[in-house]
């Protein structure tokens, strides 16, 4: 039993050493029935330089990392080419008016209050990939961009 506890402790330390990305305040915009796409928003802070290169979610057929830009009053939404770079220690805010995790080919309605699991894949400079599991609660379709501290989500680590 003691050995088991020790093993657990070692594992925890190992996980902490690799815990390079912290996810804060994740949320997904709820949808109406038959709406096929929505966005996930959150704050990402990486301990070392990494890139957010991919994502997946059981609620969506396709997950992409998108950037919204305004070009002469025309809204354009594009996949971030080559992934979204995170500089060590600098928080990148994925929020309306900038970046979002685009959830497409939704398998059903995302209802207000539902917790949406999203896996995000980060790639380090050494090419090593790590997956961060995010649990993002759905906020109403008409939720504004500002973050609500009472609705904080949870982020866990997986290797």
Considering only 2-10, 51-59, 103-111, 125-133, which stretch makes contact with another protein by CB under 8 A?
Answer: 103-111
**CA 41 – CA 29 distance, rounded (Å):** 8
Is 90 near another protein (CB under 8 A)?
no
Q: How many other C-beta atoms are found inside a 10 Å radius of the C-beta of residue 4?
A: 8
**28-57: which residues touch another protein (CB under 8 A)?**
29, 32-39
Helix then strand then coil, % of the chain, to nearest 5? 15, 55, 35
Q: With respect to another protein, which residue has the nearer C-beta, 3 or 146? A: 146
User: Which residue, among 55, 53, 30, has the nearest Cα to 113 in the 3D structure?
Assistant: 30
Q: Per CB under 8 A, does 140 bind another protein?
A: yes
Beta partners for residue 67, in sequence order: 78, 99
Binding residues for another protein (CB under 8 A): 29, 32-39, 61-62, 64, 66, 68, 70, 73-79, 96-97, 100, 102-105, 140-142, 144-145
């Amino acid at each position: 039993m003691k050995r088991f506890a020790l093993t657990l402790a070692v594992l925890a330390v190992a996980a902490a050493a690799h815990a390079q990305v912290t996810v804060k305040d994740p949320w997904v915009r709820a949808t109406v029935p038959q709406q096929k796409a929505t966005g996930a928003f959150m704050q990402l802070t990486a301990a070392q330089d990494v890139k957010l290169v991919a994502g997946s979610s059981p609620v969506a057929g396709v997950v992409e990392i998108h950037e919204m830009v305004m070009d002469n009053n025309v809204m354009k939404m594009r996949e971030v080419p080559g992934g979204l770079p995170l500089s060590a220690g600098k928080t990148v805010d994925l929020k309306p008016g900038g970046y979002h995790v685009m959830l497409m080919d939704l398998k059903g309605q995302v209802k207000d209050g539902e917790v949406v699991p999203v896996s995000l894949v980060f790639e380090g400079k050494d090419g090593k990939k790590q997956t961060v599991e995010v649990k993002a609660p759905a906020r109403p379709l008409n939720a504004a961009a500002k973050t609500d501290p009472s609705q904080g989500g949870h982020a866990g680590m997986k290797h």
